Amino acid sequence: MLSKGFDQGRGLNLPATRWYRSLPAAGLHRPEALGPARYWLQVPGSFTRALKQQCQLDFQVDVCREGFGRPSREEANTLNLANRQLAWIREVRLVGDGRPWVLARTVIPLDCLQGRGRALRHLGNKPLGVFLFSSRQWQRGELETGITLQPDHGQPRLARRSLFYRHHHRLMVCEYLLPELYR
């Protein structure tokens, strides 16, 4: 059972994803990673900021689901969490000029939620990127490239993810590119 606050019904329904340390390695399996999508897969700094710059009218973060839940086994391994350990999970759509461009899933282990990290539970529609990149305490790790497995039409085919570190704390941000973003 998931704890109260995490609404299982309203999630992003993201396809299973295989993650690669290098973008060229991912490109061998899905060559479109090496085309125009490459810019978005590697854009440095805040993704929110880069996307806002492309929008003519407005940009917003649309929260689909947020609360305590269980990360997948693979996410737990990547974050060094015990299997079935709860974490704060946030799933959002990044919407620009009225259209969704990116789906993002963030897994925040409980130890990150203490002290100033309490704010992470109360972001609402404020982009997480603004919080992470406005604090010098959080450092981003290496970007990985994701290839989704058997995506349905309109589902994301490519993704990126990275860990963010603050002292011994770490959280994980995954960003799935909707095909319209780069086609």
Binding residues vs ligand ISJ (CB under 6 A): 46-48, 61, 90, 92, 94, 102, 104, 106, 127-129, 132, 173, 175
SS3 content of the chain, % helix, strand, coil (to 5): 30, 35, 35
The answer for residues whose C-beta is within 8 angstroms of residue 122's C-beta and 6 or more apart is: none
Answer for the pair 65, 6: CB distance below 8 angstroms, yes or no: yes
Determine the Cα–Cα distance for residues 123 and 145; give it in Å rounded to an integer.
26
Determine the Cα–Cα distance for residues 23 and 39; give it in Å rounded to an integer.
11
Nearer to ligand ISJ by C-beta: 28 or 45?
45
CB of 28 to ligand ISJ, least distance (A): 26
Residue type, 2: L
Binding site residues for substrate, as ranges? 90, 128, 175
**H and E: helices and strands count for the chain:** 5, 8
Nearer to ligand ISJ by C-beta: 20 or 131?
131
Nearer to ligand ISJ by C-beta: 28 or 120?
120
Question: Which residue is nearest to ligand ISJ, using beta carbons?
Answer: 129
CB of 53 to ligand ISJ, least distance (A): 12
CB of 148 to ligand ISJ, least distance (A): 17
Nearer to ligand ISJ by C-beta: 90 or 157?
90
CB of 126 to ligand ISJ, least distance (A): 7
Determine the Cα–Cα distance for residues 33 and 114; give it in Å rounded to an integer.
37
